[in-house]
Chain A
Amino acid sequence: MNVEAVIGLEIHVEMQTKSKMFSTAPVTYKADPNTAVVPLDLGHPGTMPVVNRQAIINAIQVCHALHLQIDSQLWFDRKNYFYPDLPKGYQITQNARPIGSDGWIEVMVENQPFKIRIERLHVEEDTAMQHHYEGFTLVDYNRAGIPLMEIVTKPDIRNGAQAAAFVEAIRQIVSFLKVSSGKMEEGSLRCDVNISVRPVGTETLGTKVEIKNLNSIANVQRAIDVEMLRQERSLIAGIPVQQETRRYDELKKETILMRKKTDAVDYKYFTEPNIVPISLSQDFISNAIHQSLALATTKRTRYQGELGLSEYDAIQLTQDVYVSEYFDQLTTLGNHYKLYANWLLGEIASYLNKANLGMLAFPIQPRYMALLMTMVAKGDLSNKQAKELFEIMVKNPGDPRLLAEKMNMLQISDEGYITQQVQEVLAANPQSIIDFQQGKDRAVGFLIGQIMKKTGGKVNPTLTNQILIKLLKSK
Protein backbone atom coordinates (compact mmCIF):
# COMPACT_ATOMS: atom_id res chain seq x y z
CA MET A 1 0.00 0.00 0.00
CA ASN A 2 1.33 3.37 -0.97
CA VAL A 3 0.72 5.79 1.83
CA GLU A 4 0.97 9.57 1.79
CA ALA A 5 1.07 12.05 4.63
CA VAL A 6 -1.30 15.00 4.72
CA ILE A 7 0.23 17.80 6.73
CA GLY A 8 -0.94 21.24 7.74
CA LEU A 9 1.01 23.70 9.81
CA GLU A 10 -0.08 26.32 12.32
CA ILE A 11 2.56 28.95 12.88
CA HIS A 12 2.43 31.53 15.66
CA VAL A 13 4.64 34.58 15.19
CA GLU A 14 5.35 36.90 18.10
CA MET A 15 5.50 40.48 16.86
CA GLN A 16 8.27 42.77 18.03
CA THR A 17 6.13 45.87 18.40
CA LYS A 18 6.93 48.36 21.13
CA SER A 19 3.65 47.87 22.98
CA LYS A 20 1.26 44.94 23.23
CA MET A 21 -1.61 43.98 20.96
CA PHE A 22 -4.42 45.46 23.02
CA SER A 23 -2.63 47.01 25.97
CA THR A 24 -0.02 49.75 26.17
CA ALA A 25 2.42 47.72 28.24
CA PRO A 26 5.93 47.49 26.78
CA VAL A 27 6.90 44.38 24.81
CA THR A 28 10.14 43.23 26.42
CA TYR A 29 12.40 40.21 26.40
CA LYS A 30 13.99 38.78 29.48
CA ALA A 31 12.56 41.38 31.86
CA ASP A 32 12.01 40.52 35.51
CA PRO A 33 8.66 38.80 36.03
CA ASN A 34 5.62 41.07 36.07
CA THR A 35 7.55 44.23 35.22
CA ALA A 36 6.12 44.68 31.72
CA VAL A 37 2.41 44.72 32.54
CA VAL A 38 -0.53 47.05 32.90
CA PRO A 39 -3.85 46.17 34.57
CA LEU A 40 -5.40 44.87 31.30
CA ASP A 41 -2.69 42.22 31.06
CA LEU A 42 -3.76 40.88 34.45
CA GLY A 43 -7.43 40.94 33.52
CA HIS A 44 -8.38 43.63 36.00
CA PRO A 45 -12.07 44.52 35.86
CA GLY A 46 -12.91 47.63 33.88
CA THR A 47 -9.87 47.45 31.60
CA MET A 48 -10.47 47.59 27.85
CA PRO A 49 -8.59 46.52 24.70
CA VAL A 50 -7.41 49.10 22.16
CA VAL A 51 -5.89 47.75 18.94
CA ASN A 52 -2.21 48.46 18.22
CA ARG A 53 -1.92 50.14 14.81
CA GLN A 54 1.61 48.88 14.16
CA ALA A 55 0.54 45.30 14.80
CA ILE A 56 -2.08 45.65 12.09
CA ILE A 57 0.42 47.21 9.70
CA ASN A 58 2.75 44.29 10.39
CA ALA A 59 0.00 41.79 9.72
CA ILE A 60 -0.90 43.50 6.46
CA GLN A 61 2.72 43.35 5.31
CA VAL A 62 2.93 39.64 6.03
CA CYS A 63 -0.46 39.04 4.37
CA HIS A 64 0.87 40.78 1.29
CA ALA A 65 4.04 38.69 1.23
CA LEU A 66 1.87 35.57 1.45
CA HIS A 67 -0.55 36.68 -1.29
CA LEU A 68 -3.48 36.69 1.13
CA GLN A 69 -6.71 38.58 0.53
CA ILE A 70 -6.86 41.36 3.10
CA ASP A 71 -10.21 42.01 4.80
CA SER A 72 -11.42 45.59 4.52
CA GLN A 73 -12.69 45.54 8.09
CA LEU A 74 -11.06 44.43 11.32
CA TRP A 75 -13.31 42.30 13.52
CA PHE A 76 -12.33 40.52 16.71
CA ASP A 77 -13.81 37.61 18.63
CA ARG A 78 -13.53 36.21 22.13
CA LYS A 79 -12.26 32.68 22.60
CA ASN A 80 -13.56 31.69 26.03
CA TYR A 81 -11.87 29.14 28.31
CA PHE A 82 -10.30 28.95 31.77
CA TYR A 83 -6.57 28.45 32.24
CA PRO A 84 -4.06 30.07 34.60
CA ASP A 85 -2.15 31.71 31.74
CA LEU A 86 -5.28 33.40 30.43
CA PRO A 87 -5.98 36.28 32.81
CA LYS A 88 -9.26 37.50 31.34
CA GLY A 89 -10.70 34.01 31.00
CA TYR A 90 -10.84 34.62 27.26
CA GLN A 91 -8.41 35.42 24.48
CA ILE A 92 -9.18 38.18 22.01
CA THR A 93 -8.58 36.70 18.58
CA GLN A 94 -10.07 36.68 15.09
CA ASN A 95 -12.25 33.67 14.48
CA ALA A 96 -14.94 34.66 12.01
CA ARG A 97 -13.01 37.26 10.04
CA PRO A 98 -9.24 36.78 9.89
CA ILE A 99 -7.39 39.77 8.50
CA GLY A 100 -5.92 37.61 5.71
CA SER A 101 -7.36 34.63 3.85
CA ASP A 102 -6.73 32.40 0.81
CA GLY A 103 -3.08 32.97 0.05
CA TRP A 104 -0.08 30.90 -0.99
CA ILE A 105 3.68 30.71 -0.96
CA GLU A 106 6.16 28.97 -3.20
CA VAL A 107 9.17 27.42 -1.51
CA MET A 108 12.19 25.58 -2.90
CA VAL A 109 12.47 21.98 -1.76
CA GLU A 110 15.51 20.11 -3.11
CA ASN A 111 15.81 22.74 -5.80
CA GLN A 112 12.25 22.23 -7.00
CA PRO A 113 9.56 24.86 -6.45
CA PHE A 114 6.63 23.70 -4.31
CA LYS A 115 3.45 25.68 -3.72
CA ILE A 116 1.68 25.67 -0.36
CA ARG A 117 -1.73 27.27 0.01
CA ILE A 118 -2.40 29.35 3.08
CA GLU A 119 -5.83 29.21 4.63
CA ARG A 120 -5.66 32.27 6.85
CA LEU A 121 -3.63 34.71 8.86
CA HIS A 122 -5.13 36.38 11.90
CA VAL A 123 -3.94 38.50 14.81
CA GLU A 124 -4.47 37.71 18.46
CA GLU A 125 -2.79 38.07 21.84
CA ASP A 126 -0.29 35.80 23.58
CA THR A 127 -0.83 34.15 26.95
CA ALA A 128 1.11 34.58 30.18
CA MET A 129 4.06 32.34 30.99
CA GLN A 130 3.86 29.59 33.54
CA HIS A 131 6.96 28.34 35.32
CA HIS A 132 6.56 24.90 36.81
CA TYR A 133 8.36 23.82 39.97
CA GLU A 134 8.10 20.97 42.41
CA GLY A 135 4.56 21.22 43.73
CA PHE A 136 3.65 24.64 42.42
CA THR A 137 3.49 26.89 39.38
CA LEU A 138 4.36 30.57 39.13
CA VAL A 139 2.73 32.88 36.59
CA ASP A 140 4.52 35.77 34.90
CA TYR A 141 2.24 38.06 32.89
CA ASN A 142 4.94 39.88 30.90
CA ARG A 143 4.10 37.83 27.83
CA ALA A 144 0.34 38.13 28.28
CA GLY A 145 -1.03 40.32 25.53
CA ILE A 146 2.00 40.38 23.23
CA PRO A 147 0.77 40.55 19.61
CA LEU A 148 0.69 37.26 17.73
CA MET A 149 0.09 36.41 14.10
CA GLU A 150 -1.32 32.96 13.48
CA ILE A 151 -0.72 31.50 10.02
CA VAL A 152 -2.58 28.34 9.06
CA THR A 153 -1.76 26.39 5.92
CA LYS A 154 -4.04 24.15 3.96
CA PRO A 155 -2.98 20.49 4.30
CA ASP A 156 -0.85 20.67 1.15
CA ILE A 157 2.40 19.53 2.74
CA ARG A 158 3.52 15.93 2.22
CA ASN A 159 6.81 15.56 4.07
CA GLY A 160 9.23 17.04 6.56
CA ALA A 161 11.42 18.75 3.99
CA GLN A 162 8.51 20.69 2.57
CA ALA A 163 7.41 21.67 6.06
CA ALA A 164 10.89 22.82 7.00
CA ALA A 165 11.14 24.87 3.82
CA PHE A 166 7.82 26.49 4.64
CA VAL A 167 8.77 27.39 8.19
CA GLU A 168 12.13 28.72 6.98
CA ALA A 169 10.36 30.85 4.38
CA ILE A 170 8.03 32.27 7.03
CA ARG A 171 11.01 32.93 9.26
CA GLN A 172 12.69 34.87 6.49
CA ILE A 173 9.56 36.83 5.66
CA VAL A 174 8.83 37.93 9.21
CA SER A 175 12.46 38.65 10.08
CA PHE A 176 13.13 40.59 6.90
CA LEU A 177 9.96 42.63 7.35
CA LYS A 178 11.22 43.13 10.90
CA VAL A 179 7.84 42.24 12.35
CA SER A 180 9.36 39.47 14.42
CA SER A 181 12.75 38.04 15.31
CA GLY A 182 11.32 34.73 14.06
CA LYS A 183 13.36 32.48 16.35
CA MET A 184 11.92 29.11 17.25
CA GLU A 185 14.58 28.64 19.91
CA GLU A 186 13.39 31.81 21.63
CA GLY A 187 9.70 31.14 21.17
CA SER A 188 9.03 34.08 18.87
CA LEU A 189 8.17 31.60 16.14
CA ARG A 190 6.15 28.52 17.07
CA CYS A 191 5.08 25.69 14.86
CA ASP A 192 2.37 23.13 15.48
CA VAL A 193 1.98 20.28 13.05
CA ASN A 194 -1.23 18.51 12.12
CA ILE A 195 -0.49 15.24 10.38
CA SER A 196 -2.46 12.28 9.16
CA VAL A 197 -1.80 9.56 6.60
CA ARG A 198 -3.94 7.90 3.98
CA PRO A 199 -3.53 5.47 1.11
CA VAL A 200 -2.43 7.26 -2.02
CA GLY A 201 -5.37 7.91 -4.30
CA THR A 202 -7.95 8.28 -1.54
CA GLU A 203 -9.65 11.56 -0.77
CA THR A 204 -10.75 11.06 2.84
CA LEU A 205 -8.42 12.30 5.50
CA GLY A 206 -7.04 9.96 8.11
CA THR A 207 -7.11 10.65 11.85
CA LYS A 208 -5.15 13.78 12.66
CA VAL A 209 -2.32 13.83 15.16
CA GLU A 210 -1.09 17.15 16.53
CA ILE A 211 2.61 17.68 17.26
CA LYS A 212 3.47 20.57 19.56
CA ASN A 213 6.40 22.11 21.43
CA LEU A 214 8.83 21.89 18.51
CA ASN A 215 11.85 24.08 19.16
CA SER A 216 13.67 24.23 15.84
CA ILE A 217 13.03 23.99 12.13
CA ALA A 218 15.25 20.92 11.97
CA ASN A 219 13.08 19.26 14.57
CA VAL A 220 9.94 20.15 12.63
CA GLN A 221 11.36 18.12 9.78
CA ARG A 222 12.55 15.24 11.92
CA ALA A 223 9.34 15.04 13.90
CA ILE A 224 7.25 14.90 10.76
CA ASP A 225 9.41 12.26 9.16
CA VAL A 226 9.30 9.92 12.17
CA GLU A 227 5.61 10.54 12.74
CA MET A 228 4.84 9.78 9.09
CA LEU A 229 6.59 6.48 9.51
CA ARG A 230 4.84 5.72 12.77
CA GLN A 231 1.41 6.36 11.30
CA GLU A 232 2.23 4.47 8.12
CA ARG A 233 3.29 1.42 10.13
CA SER A 234 0.07 1.70 12.12
CA LEU A 235 -2.02 1.83 8.99
CA ILE A 236 -0.29 -1.12 7.41
CA ALA A 237 -0.64 -3.16 10.59
CA GLY A 238 -4.35 -2.33 10.65
CA ILE A 239 -4.07 -0.45 13.96
CA PRO A 240 -6.09 2.76 13.76
CA VAL A 241 -4.19 5.96 14.44
CA GLN A 242 -5.51 7.68 17.60
CA GLN A 243 -6.34 11.34 17.74
CA GLU A 244 -3.57 12.62 20.01
CA THR A 245 -1.27 15.45 20.86
CA ARG A 246 2.38 14.38 20.70
CA ARG A 247 5.76 16.02 21.18
CA TYR A 248 9.12 15.24 19.60
CA ASP A 249 11.88 13.74 21.72
CA GLU A 250 15.24 14.80 20.28
CA LEU A 251 17.26 12.10 21.99
CA LYS A 252 14.94 9.19 21.30
CA LYS A 253 14.23 10.58 17.83
CA GLU A 254 10.58 9.72 18.12
CA THR A 255 7.27 11.40 18.88
CA ILE A 256 5.89 10.86 22.36
CA LEU A 257 2.27 10.99 23.50
CA MET A 258 1.44 14.13 25.49
CA ARG A 259 -2.29 13.69 25.83
CA LYS A 260 -5.18 12.00 24.13
CA LYS A 261 -7.44 14.35 22.28
CA THR A 262 -10.80 14.46 23.96
CA ASP A 263 -13.86 16.09 22.45
CA ALA A 264 -13.07 19.34 20.78
CA VAL A 265 -13.39 22.17 23.29
CA ASP A 266 -16.27 24.56 22.61
CA TYR A 267 -14.77 28.04 22.90
CA LYS A 268 -18.13 29.79 22.59
CA TYR A 269 -16.76 32.36 20.16
CA PHE A 270 -18.66 35.63 19.87
CA THR A 271 -17.81 39.10 18.57
CA GLU A 272 -15.68 41.16 20.95
CA PRO A 273 -18.07 43.94 22.00
CA ASN A 274 -15.36 46.32 23.22
CA ILE A 275 -13.75 46.76 19.79
CA VAL A 276 -15.97 48.47 17.25
CA PRO A 277 -15.13 47.09 13.77
CA ILE A 278 -12.37 49.11 12.18
CA SER A 279 -12.42 50.01 8.51
CA LEU A 280 -9.16 49.37 6.74
CA SER A 281 -9.19 51.78 3.83
CA GLN A 282 -7.42 51.01 0.59
CA ASP A 283 -5.03 53.84 1.42
CA PHE A 284 -4.20 52.41 4.81
CA ILE A 285 -3.53 48.98 3.32
CA SER A 286 -1.47 50.35 0.43
CA ASN A 287 0.60 52.50 2.75
CA ALA A 288 1.25 49.57 5.04
CA ILE A 289 2.39 47.45 2.09
CA HIS A 290 4.44 50.31 0.72
CA GLN A 291 6.26 50.64 4.03
CA SER A 292 7.35 47.01 3.84
CA LEU A 293 11.05 46.37 4.04
CA ALA A 294 12.55 44.24 1.25
CA LEU A 295 11.92 40.52 1.49
CA ALA A 296 14.77 38.02 1.43
CA THR A 297 13.56 36.71 -1.90
CA THR A 298 13.64 40.21 -3.39
CA LYS A 299 17.14 40.81 -2.08
CA ARG A 300 18.40 37.49 -3.41
CA THR A 301 17.16 38.37 -6.87
CA ARG A 302 19.02 41.66 -6.69
CA TYR A 303 22.20 40.18 -5.27
CA GLN A 304 22.38 37.56 -8.00
CA GLY A 305 21.20 39.81 -10.78
CA GLU A 306 22.36 43.35 -10.33
CA LEU A 307 25.30 42.56 -8.07
CA GLY A 308 26.41 39.38 -9.79
CA LEU A 309 26.86 37.25 -6.69
CA SER A 310 26.53 33.49 -6.75
CA GLU A 311 23.31 31.80 -5.66
CA TYR A 312 25.13 30.38 -2.68
CA ASP A 313 26.34 33.79 -1.53
CA ALA A 314 22.94 35.33 -2.10
CA ILE A 315 21.29 32.66 0.03
CA GLN A 316 23.88 32.93 2.77
CA LEU A 317 23.61 36.70 2.90
CA THR A 318 19.85 36.52 3.32
CA GLN A 319 19.69 34.16 6.27
CA ASP A 320 19.74 37.03 8.71
CA VAL A 321 18.11 40.38 7.98
CA TYR A 322 20.75 42.33 9.85
CA VAL A 323 23.55 40.68 7.90
CA SER A 324 21.83 41.55 4.66
CA GLU A 325 21.25 45.12 5.81
CA TYR A 326 24.90 45.48 6.68
CA PHE A 327 25.73 44.12 3.26
CA ASP A 328 23.28 46.57 1.67
CA GLN A 329 24.97 49.45 3.43
CA LEU A 330 28.38 48.32 2.17
CA THR A 331 27.03 48.27 -1.36
CA THR A 332 26.18 51.96 -1.07
CA LEU A 333 29.77 52.69 -0.10
CA GLY A 334 31.55 50.75 -2.81
CA ASN A 335 31.17 48.06 -5.42
CA HIS A 336 33.39 45.25 -4.20
CA TYR A 337 30.39 43.02 -3.73
CA LYS A 338 32.12 39.67 -3.77
CA LEU A 339 34.72 40.91 -1.31
CA TYR A 340 32.03 42.20 1.03
CA ALA A 341 30.21 38.89 0.81
CA ASN A 342 33.36 36.92 1.55
CA TRP A 343 34.20 39.00 4.60
CA LEU A 344 30.64 39.03 5.97
CA LEU A 345 30.31 35.29 5.60
CA GLY A 346 33.91 34.67 6.65
CA GLU A 347 35.79 36.91 9.08
CA ILE A 348 32.79 38.78 10.40
CA ALA A 349 30.64 35.69 10.87
CA SER A 350 33.46 33.91 12.60
CA TYR A 351 34.09 36.88 14.90
CA LEU A 352 30.43 37.15 15.84
CA ASN A 353 30.23 33.45 16.45
CA LYS A 354 33.24 33.41 18.79
CA ALA A 355 32.06 36.53 20.62
CA ASN A 356 28.50 35.17 20.79
CA LEU A 357 27.06 38.35 19.31
CA GLY A 358 24.39 39.12 16.74
CA MET A 359 25.07 41.24 13.69
CA LEU A 360 23.53 44.28 15.34
CA ALA A 361 26.25 44.20 17.98
CA PHE A 362 29.06 44.12 15.42
CA PRO A 363 31.33 46.97 16.48
CA ILE A 364 32.72 48.11 13.12
CA GLN A 365 30.54 50.59 11.26
CA PRO A 366 29.85 49.88 7.60
CA ARG A 367 31.82 52.89 6.43
CA TYR A 368 35.00 51.74 8.13
CA MET A 369 34.46 48.21 6.93
CA ALA A 370 33.95 49.55 3.43
CA LEU A 371 37.19 51.51 3.63
CA LEU A 372 39.03 48.40 4.75
CA MET A 373 37.57 46.46 1.84
CA THR A 374 38.51 49.15 -0.62
CA MET A 375 42.08 49.04 0.60
CA VAL A 376 42.18 45.30 0.05
CA ALA A 377 40.56 45.58 -3.36
CA LYS A 378 43.02 48.25 -4.47
CA GLY A 379 45.96 46.26 -3.22
CA ASP A 380 46.97 48.71 -0.54
CA LEU A 381 46.68 45.90 1.97
CA SER A 382 47.26 42.21 1.69
CA ASN A 383 44.56 39.88 2.93
CA LYS A 384 46.78 39.00 5.86
CA GLN A 385 47.26 42.66 6.76
CA ALA A 386 43.54 43.31 6.44
CA LYS A 387 42.80 40.51 8.88
CA GLU A 388 45.30 41.99 11.32
CA LEU A 389 43.63 45.37 11.09
CA PHE A 390 40.22 43.75 11.47
CA GLU A 391 41.26 42.17 14.76
CA ILE A 392 42.30 45.58 16.03
CA MET A 393 39.24 47.38 14.69
CA VAL A 394 36.77 45.08 16.42
CA LYS A 395 38.28 46.14 19.71
CA ASN A 396 38.86 49.77 18.74
CA PRO A 397 36.71 50.73 15.81
CA GLY A 398 38.25 53.49 13.76
CA ASP A 399 39.34 54.58 10.31
CA PRO A 400 41.42 51.74 8.86
CA ARG A 401 43.47 54.11 6.73
CA LEU A 402 44.79 55.93 9.77
CA LEU A 403 45.31 52.66 11.53
CA ALA A 404 47.21 51.14 8.63
CA GLU A 405 49.42 54.16 8.37
CA LYS A 406 50.11 54.16 12.06
CA MET A 407 51.12 50.54 11.81
CA ASN A 408 53.15 51.09 8.75
CA MET A 409 51.09 48.61 6.89
CA LEU A 410 50.36 50.35 3.69
CA GLN A 411 51.47 48.42 0.69
CA ILE A 412 53.45 50.45 -1.72
CA SER A 413 52.24 50.36 -5.26
CA ASP A 414 54.46 53.08 -6.62
CA GLU A 415 55.99 51.52 -9.74
CA GLY A 416 58.99 53.76 -9.70
CA TYR A 417 59.85 52.88 -6.11
CA ILE A 418 59.30 49.19 -6.69
CA THR A 419 61.44 49.21 -9.84
CA GLN A 420 64.25 50.80 -7.89
CA GLN A 421 63.97 48.21 -5.11
CA VAL A 422 63.95 45.38 -7.61
CA GLN A 423 66.99 46.71 -9.42
CA GLU A 424 68.88 47.09 -6.15
CA VAL A 425 68.10 43.50 -5.16
CA LEU A 426 69.03 42.23 -8.62
CA ALA A 427 72.28 44.09 -8.40
CA ALA A 428 72.99 42.44 -5.06
CA ASN A 429 72.09 38.95 -6.29
CA PRO A 430 73.72 38.38 -9.71
CA GLN A 431 73.65 34.59 -9.23
CA SER A 432 69.86 34.62 -9.15
CA ILE A 433 69.71 36.30 -12.50
CA ILE A 434 71.82 33.49 -13.94
CA ASP A 435 69.59 30.90 -12.19
CA PHE A 436 66.52 32.44 -13.75
CA GLN A 437 68.07 32.48 -17.20
CA GLN A 438 68.88 28.82 -16.72
CA GLY A 439 65.23 28.07 -16.04
CA LYS A 440 65.36 27.70 -12.26
CA ASP A 441 61.97 29.02 -11.09
CA ARG A 442 63.02 29.12 -7.49
CA ALA A 443 65.02 32.16 -8.34
CA VAL A 444 61.94 34.33 -8.64
CA GLY A 445 60.64 33.24 -5.25
CA PHE A 446 64.03 33.89 -3.67
CA LEU A 447 64.26 37.34 -5.22
CA ILE A 448 60.72 38.27 -4.13
CA GLY A 449 61.67 37.15 -0.64
CA GLN A 450 64.68 39.42 -0.71
CA ILE A 451 62.64 42.34 -1.96
CA MET A 452 60.07 41.78 0.78
CA LYS A 453 62.81 41.62 3.39
CA LYS A 454 64.33 44.80 2.06
CA THR A 455 61.02 46.69 2.01
CA GLY A 456 59.58 45.22 5.19
CA GLY A 457 56.94 43.37 3.17
CA LYS A 458 55.30 46.59 2.13
CA VAL A 459 55.45 46.40 -1.59
CA ASN A 460 52.45 45.21 -3.56
CA PRO A 461 53.33 41.59 -4.29
CA THR A 462 51.50 41.32 -7.59
CA LEU A 463 53.04 44.46 -8.98
CA THR A 464 56.47 43.54 -7.66
CA ASN A 465 56.23 40.17 -9.33
CA GLN A 466 55.32 41.79 -12.63
CA ILE A 467 58.16 44.28 -12.51
CA LEU A 468 60.69 41.65 -11.40
CA ILE A 469 59.79 39.27 -14.24
CA LYS A 470 59.97 42.11 -16.73
CA LEU A 471 63.40 43.20 -15.53
CA LEU A 472 64.71 39.63 -15.37
CA LYS A 473 63.58 39.01 -18.90
CA SER A 474 65.30 42.13 -20.07
CA LYS A 475 68.66 41.15 -18.59
Chain B
Amino acid sequence: MKKIDKTLLLDASTRLLFVMTDTQYEVLIQEFDILLEQMALIGKIEGVDHVAPMTFSLQNETMQLREDVPSPSLSQTQATQNATFVSEGQIKLPKVVG
Protein backbone atom coordinates (compact mmCIF):
# COMPACT_ATOMS: atom_id res chain seq x y z
CA MET B 1 0.00 0.00 0.00
CA LYS B 2 1.19 3.48 -0.81
CA LYS B 3 2.46 5.65 2.05
CA ILE B 4 0.32 8.64 2.86
CA ASP B 5 2.11 11.92 2.58
CA LYS B 6 1.27 15.29 1.16
CA THR B 7 2.80 14.46 -2.22
CA LEU B 8 0.55 11.48 -2.61
CA LEU B 9 -2.54 13.38 -1.53
CA LEU B 10 -1.68 16.25 -3.82
CA ASP B 11 -1.40 13.80 -6.69
CA ALA B 12 -4.70 12.16 -5.73
CA SER B 13 -6.59 15.45 -5.51
CA THR B 14 -5.09 16.67 -8.78
CA ARG B 15 -6.30 13.53 -10.49
CA LEU B 16 -9.71 14.23 -8.99
CA LEU B 17 -9.49 17.68 -10.57
CA PHE B 18 -9.62 19.87 -7.50
CA VAL B 19 -7.23 21.84 -5.35
CA MET B 20 -6.94 21.63 -1.58
CA THR B 21 -5.12 23.86 0.89
CA ASP B 22 -2.20 22.76 3.05
CA THR B 23 -4.37 22.76 6.16
CA GLN B 24 -6.90 20.56 4.43
CA TYR B 25 -4.17 18.10 3.48
CA GLU B 26 -3.07 17.96 7.09
CA VAL B 27 -6.56 17.14 8.29
CA LEU B 28 -6.78 14.52 5.58
CA ILE B 29 -3.51 12.90 6.62
CA GLN B 30 -4.89 12.53 10.13
CA GLU B 31 -8.09 11.03 8.78
CA PHE B 32 -6.10 8.56 6.73
CA ASP B 33 -4.10 7.53 9.76
CA ILE B 34 -7.32 6.72 11.56
CA LEU B 35 -8.93 4.94 8.64
CA LEU B 36 -5.90 2.85 7.74
CA GLU B 37 -5.44 1.85 11.35
CA GLN B 38 -9.04 0.73 11.53
CA MET B 39 -8.80 -1.12 8.23
CA ALA B 40 -5.67 -2.87 9.49
CA LEU B 41 -7.64 -4.07 12.49
CA ILE B 42 -10.26 -5.38 10.14
CA GLY B 43 -7.51 -7.23 8.37
CA LYS B 44 -7.03 -9.22 11.54
CA ILE B 45 -10.59 -10.54 11.56
CA GLU B 46 -10.35 -14.26 11.17
CA GLY B 47 -11.11 -15.47 7.70
CA VAL B 48 -11.78 -12.05 6.25
CA ASP B 49 -9.48 -12.47 3.28
CA HIS B 50 -10.99 -15.82 2.34
CA VAL B 51 -14.48 -14.48 1.89
CA ALA B 52 -15.65 -13.22 -1.51
CA PRO B 53 -16.14 -9.45 -1.81
CA MET B 54 -19.77 -8.38 -1.78
CA THR B 55 -21.20 -5.61 -3.93
CA PHE B 56 -24.85 -6.65 -3.83
CA SER B 57 -26.45 -7.83 -0.62
CA LEU B 58 -29.57 -9.03 -2.37
CA GLN B 59 -29.71 -10.70 -5.77
CA ASN B 60 -33.21 -9.51 -6.43
CA GLU B 61 -35.48 -10.59 -9.17
CA THR B 62 -35.16 -7.30 -10.89
CA MET B 63 -35.92 -5.39 -14.04
CA GLN B 64 -33.01 -6.89 -15.86
CA LEU B 65 -32.71 -6.64 -19.63
CA ARG B 66 -34.45 -3.85 -21.49
CA GLU B 67 -36.20 -4.30 -24.83
CA ASP B 68 -34.43 -2.48 -27.64
CA VAL B 69 -37.06 0.23 -28.11
CA PRO B 70 -35.82 3.82 -28.44
CA SER B 71 -37.46 6.68 -26.54
CA PRO B 72 -37.72 10.24 -27.85
CA SER B 73 -34.56 12.26 -27.58
CA LEU B 74 -34.17 15.50 -25.71
CA SER B 75 -34.18 18.52 -27.98
CA GLN B 76 -30.89 20.22 -28.63
CA THR B 77 -32.06 23.09 -26.44
CA GLN B 78 -32.92 20.83 -23.53
CA ALA B 79 -29.68 18.93 -23.87
CA THR B 80 -27.60 22.08 -23.57
CA GLN B 81 -29.78 24.28 -21.40
CA ASN B 82 -27.90 23.64 -18.16
CA ALA B 83 -24.49 24.31 -19.67
CA THR B 84 -22.78 27.67 -19.28
CA PHE B 85 -20.92 27.63 -22.59
CA VAL B 86 -22.84 26.45 -25.62
CA SER B 87 -22.18 26.90 -29.32
CA GLU B 88 -23.92 25.42 -32.36
CA GLY B 89 -26.06 23.23 -30.14
CA GLN B 90 -23.00 21.70 -28.49
CA ILE B 91 -21.16 22.10 -25.21
CA LYS B 92 -18.15 24.35 -25.68
CA LEU B 93 -14.82 24.04 -23.93
CA PRO B 94 -11.19 25.04 -24.48
CA LYS B 95 -9.56 23.15 -27.31
CA VAL B 96 -8.81 19.60 -26.20
CA VAL B 97 -5.34 18.44 -27.12
CA GLY B 98 -4.09 14.94 -26.51
Is B93 interfacial (CB-CB < 8 Å)?
yes
CB within 8 A of B74: which of A17, A34, A132, A259?
A: A34
Is B66 interfacial (CB-CB < 8 Å)?
yes
The stretch of B19-27, B28-36, B37-45, B84-92 that contacts the partner chain: B84-92
Interface size on A, residues (CB 8 A): 44
**What CA separation (Å) do A270 and B55 show in the bound complex?**
9
Is B69 interfacial (CB-CB < 8 Å)?
yes
Chain B residues numbered 42-72 whose CB sits less than 8 Å from any CB in chain A: 55-56, 59-60, 62-71
Is B7 interfacial (CB-CB < 8 Å)?
no
Chain A residues in 8 Å Cβ range of B68: 17-19, 52-55
Chain A residues numbered 103-144 whose CB sits less than 8 Å from any CB in chain B: 130-141
Chain B residues in 8 Å Cβ range of A130: 96
User: A136 to B93, Cβ gap below 8 A?
Assistant: yes
Majority secondary structure of chain B interface residues (helix, strand, loop or mixed): loop
User: How many of chain B's residues touch chain A, expressed as a range?
Assistant: 20 to 34
Chain A residues in 8 Å Cβ range of B17: 82
Chain B residues in 8 Å Cβ range of A24: 66, 69-71
Is A50 interfacial (CB-CB < 8 Å)?
yes
**What CA separation (Å) do A24 and B71 show in the bound complex?**
5
**What CA separation (Å) do A39 and B80 show in the bound complex?**
11
Chain B: which residue is nearest A130 at the CB level? Answer: B96
Contact A36:B66 (CB < 8 A) given known A137-B95, A138-B92, A139-B90: no
Q: Across chains A and B, which 5 residue pairs bring their CB atoms closest together, nearest first? A: A54-B68, A53-B65, A26-B70, A138-B90, A24-B71
Question: Interface on A for B, CB 8 Å cutoff?
Answer: 17-19, 24-27, 32-39, 42, 50-56, 82, 84, 130-141, 259, 270-271, 273, 276-278
Question: Interface on B for A, CB 8 Å cutoff?
Answer: 15, 17, 55-56, 59-60, 62-71, 73-76, 79-80, 87-96, 98
